[in-house]
Amino acid sequence: AQSVTQPDIHITVSEGASLELRCNYSYGATPYLFWYVQSPGQGLQLLLKYFSGDTLVQGIKGFEAEFKRSQSSFNLRKPSVHWSDAAEYFCAVDGGYQKVTFGTGTKLQVIP
Amino acid sequence: DTAVSQTPKYLVTQMGNDKSIKCEQNLGHDTMYWYKQDSKKFLKIMFSYNNKELIINETVPNRFSPKSPDKAHLNLHINSLELGDSAVYFCASSQGRSRNTEAFFGQGTRLTVV
**Contact between chains at A105 and B105 (C-beta distance less than 8 A):** no
Band (A83; pLDDT cuts 50, 70, 90):
very high
Let me know: does B27 contact B4? Beta carbons within 8 Å. Answer: yes
pLDDT, tens digit, 9 for 90 and up, residues B72-113: 999 999 999 999 999 999 999 988 766 667 888 998 999 999
pLDDT, tens digit, 9 for 90 and up, residues A32-75: 899 999 988 788 899 999 988 889 999 999 999 999 999 999 99
SS3 B71: coil
Low-confidence winner among B16-25, B44-53, B94-103, B105-114 (lowest mean pLDDT):
B94-103
Spatial separation of the C-alpha atoms in residues B86 and A40, rounded to whole Å? 18
Let me know: does B3 contact B27? Beta carbons within 8 Å. Answer: yes
pLDDT, tens digit, 9 for 90 and up, residues A2-13: 889 999 999 999
Q: What angle do CA B95, B105, B83 make, to 5 degrees?
A: 130
Band (A1; pLDDT cuts 50, 70, 90):
confident
Return the closest-CA partner of residue B17 out of B62, B112, B75, B82: B82
All residues of chain B having their beta carbon less than 8 Å from the beta carbon of residue A90 are: 43
DSSP assignment, residue A32?
E
pLDDT of residue B21: 97
All residues of chain B having their beta carbon less than 8 Å from the beta carbon of residue A46 are: 102-104
Q: Which chain A residue is nearest to residue B3, measuring alpha carbons? A: A43
Q: Is A107 exposed, middle or buried (0-12, 13-18, 19+ CB in 10 A)?
A: middle
Spatial separation of the C-alpha atoms in residues B86 and B14, rounded to whole Å? 11
Spatial separation of the C-alpha atoms in residues B45 and B100, rounded to whole Å? 17
SS3 B99: coil
SS3 A69: helix
All residues of chain A having their beta carbon less than 8 Å from the beta carbon of residue B97 are: 97-98
- How many other β-carbons are positioned within 10 Å of the β-carbon of residue B87? 20
Spatial separation of the C-alpha atoms in residues A5 and A13, rounded to whole Å? 21
- Which residues are within 8 A (CB) of B31 and not within 5 positions of it... i.e. 6 or more apart? A98, B48, B49, B50, B51, B55, B93, B94, B95, B96, B97, B101
* Strand ranges across the sheet with B19-25: B4-7, B19-25, B73-78, B64-70
- Strand pairing category for A3-5 and B31-37: unpaired
Give me the residue from B55, B90, B102 closest to A43, CB to CB.
Answer: B90
Strand partners, A89: A37, A106
Spatial separation of the C-alpha atoms in residues B107 and B96, rounded to whole Å? 22
